[in-house]
Structure 1
Amino acid sequence: MPTVEELLGNEAEYLLSHECQTFSKDDLHVPGPDFVDRVYKSTDRSPVVLRNLQSLFNHGRLGGTGYLSILPVDQGIEHSAGASFAPNPSYFDPENIIKLALESNCNAVASTIGVLGSVSRDYAHKIPMIAKINHNELLSYPNTHDQIMFGSVKQAYNLGAVAVGATIYFGSKESNRQIQEVAQAFQYAHELGLGTILWAYLRNPVFKTAYGDYHLSSDLTGQAIHLSASLQADIVKQKLPTLNGGYHAFGFGKTHDKVYSELTSDHPIDLTRYQVANSYMGRAGLINSGGGSSERDLNEAVKTAVINKRAGGMGLIMGRKAFHRPMKEGYEIIQAVQDVYADESITIA
């Protein structure tokens, strides 16, 4: 397996030597072995929630580090089963999804109520499960883009999940309803003792322009993360930012000039540090998504992990880069990402 430096190529020094001059790392609530005791225990979460969160942090190769490596496979609904599993048809069988997460020594597997429920008696005691309760249904014509409830918190509880997951399309015309639905679901999940993970995506066709895709803008994704923490998400999943200035590009909402002059820069670690700052300075752990599959999956996954870790993030949730490949190759990509978080020489910038 190539080293991290080799996989980063000519960006190695740029990413591994950067020192953040925006938000000091000393002001962050950074991941660590004591994160549940140091951060979550101060909240209004019940002892049962703390126990389930601790089980998530204790499992797998990164167990006890405070970092998370999660395999998410809800694409059978989000992208159609054919689009998701045709590259590797064995994953039409949900058991193989769980086996990949186990073989890769992940902290947890995140999937649909249907996938997890179909094998929960065999595996809920072997690996923490995160049950996704809402999805974007893409069979109607013409396609609509809306997150609707496919399952309930009680179903997630009954199948043995340690946490529920949900998505909100912030910026969409349906977001007000989604916010209310997820707020109620997360409240109930915490009452039952489950952790909560929010996929905090932006979704508005206006955000994608000839000048850049502002769905990946640090200021807009940062605000989505801040709203997620306000909804009491214990962990927030967000895409890695690649640009900034969404508020200025569209002339809406409210922001401050210091966001762009002092609190961010054009460096990817600084753009991601602004996301961490919006997660209550790391109190709601930020995990970035691995993105779609390509020929450079291994290099891109390691680069994303380095940026997330050095920014103060909590880990990576990576699906398509792994399950679109034969299990051995998917395993190797997940292991390479875990290597980044296990490497104590890769520090917070």
Structure 2
Amino acid sequence: MASQKIQELLGDQAAYYLDHTCTTIDKSSLYLPTGTAVNDVWMNSNRNVQTLRSISTLMNHGRLANSGYVSILPVDQGIEHSAGASFAPNPIYFDPENIVKLAIEGGCNAVASTYGVLGAVARKYAHQIPFIVKINHNEFISYPNRFDQIMFGNIKDAWNMGAVAVGATIYFGSEESHRQIVEVAKAFEYAHELGMATVLWCYLRNNSFKKDGVDYHTAADLTAQSNHLGVTIQADIIKQKLPTNNGGYTAINFGKTHKDVYNKLTTDHPIDLARYQVANCYMGRVGLINSGGESKGASDMAEAVMTAVVNKRAGGMGLISGRKAFQKPMNEGVSLLNTIQDVYLDNSITVA
């Protein structure tokens, strides 16, 4: 039985999340997170020895070391959402050192941030916690705003500052997505040549993905397909938002899908929807981490725990949570990160 704290945070939905049995894609079909994933899964891939070591370094740090699960602190919001919007609630995080300190104090596997943030403190911290350098961004100051991700540096710079991995975003479905796919695929290829792991933010951006008052940017079928594109360009970890609905293909009436996606491979349960995301990551060969989402204040802890439970029980490999952690006092951020990690350390919370 899950700890009392986790059950209390889930509230009257505890049984809904903790007792669910997945009858769509059976867990026996999945490559589930283990402490030996590099030997069990990645050893047979085309990743070179240095990249295997980087993946292992990433997975074997922090409170979740050797569990197969990861907890990552991502702080690229200073560009993606503007520094004011991101750091005004807690101005200490205008200083890059405090971002890295939060990841270390919070027991994270890694810290993911910009060239500038990580470069500013690389000599002091790159050997203390794995760095994931985010190589592209939606700069969010052009007007009107555009759905585009542009490169902010080069892979060699990330390698020179001691990064274990690089991260990138592709806005699948946007007008610029074709260019982004080519750019990121080439960047990931070079990162692998240098021995770094790769993490892809697989996000959807297209105003047409909103139909009849419903936003399908987080539909299970569409997000899962973006995951499938992400693993195709050889991301080692996929970052994706937790699905909130389904049927994007059929509602918008584009692309190709199959009735079994909705009748057999998914249900309305959040764990089953996330299971379909995992399936599209080569049945879990490539780990799925779900994002923690924006900070909403008092409900942050409960929402983070719910997301972690859904991800873990679906077969995912962890959570990447930023604003919920850094937009509050550091001790509260550390507590939130540790509580997320407690979900993955709790052996009674099993894959559904």
Q: TM-score range by the shorter chain?
A: over 0.9
Report the equivalent of 1:187. 189
TM-score (norm 1): 0.99
Distance 1:43 1:108 in 2: 23
Deviation sequence 1:222-275 (CA, Å, 0-9, x none): 000000000000000000001000000111000100000000000000000000
Contact 1:137 1:145 in 2 (8 A): no
Structure 1 window deviating more from structure 2 (118-127 vs 202-211): it is 202-211
Q: Does 1:329 align with 2:338?
A: no
Q: Secondary structure at the match of 1:216?
A: coil
Distance 1:145 1:311 in 2: 30
Q: Secondary structure at the match of 1:197?
A: strand
Q: In the alignment, which of 201, 204, 229 is matched to residue 202 of structure 1? A: 204
Distance 1:96 1:150 in 2: 22
Q: Secondary structure at the match of 1:70?
A: strand
The one-letter code matched in structure 2 to 1:336 is T
Q: Secondary structure at the match of 1:281?
A: helix
**Aligned positions, number:** 349
Q: In the alignment, which of 234, 239, 242 is matched to residue 240 of structure 1? A: 242
Deviation sequence 1:269-291 (CA, Å, 0-9, x none): 00000000000000110000000
TM-score (norm 2): 0.98
Distance 2:351 2:26 in 1: 10
Deviation sequence 1:60-87 (CA, Å, 0-9, x none): 0000000000000001111111111000
The one-letter code matched in structure 2 to 1:171 is G
Q: Secondary structure at the match of 1:106?
A: coil
Contact 2:32 2:315 in 1 (8 A): yes
Contact 2:71 2:109 in 1 (8 A): yes
Report the equivalent of 2:266. 264
Report the equivalent of 2:149. 147
Q: In the alignment, which of 134, 137, 140 is matched to residue 136 of structure 2? A: 134
Contact 1:135 1:150 in 2 (8 A): yes
Q: In the alignment, which of 56, 59, 64 is matched to residue 57 of structure 1? A: 59
Distance 1:210 1:332 in 2: 40
Contact 2:211 2:252 in 1 (8 A): no
Q: Secondary structure at the match of 1:332?
A: helix
Q: Does 1:222 align with 2:224?
A: yes
User: What is the percent sequence identity of the aligned residues?
Assistant: 65
Q: Write out aligned runs for 1:90-169 (5 A).
A: 90-169=92-171
The one-letter code matched in structure 1 to 2:257 is T
Q: C-alpha displacement at 1:209, in angstroms?
A: 3.4
Structure 1: runs of 5+ lacking an equivalent: none
Deviation sequence 1:195-218 (CA, Å, 0-9, x none): 000000000111123442100100
The one-letter code matched in structure 1 to 2:99 is I
Q: Secondary structure at the match of 2:294?
A: coil
- Structure 1 runs of 4+ aligned residues shifted over 3 Å read none
Distance 2:176 2:150 in 1: 10
Q: Secondary structure at the match of 1:264?
A: coil
Measured on the aligned residues, the alpha-carbon RMSD in Å equals: 0.9
Contact 2:126 2:161 in 1 (8 A): yes
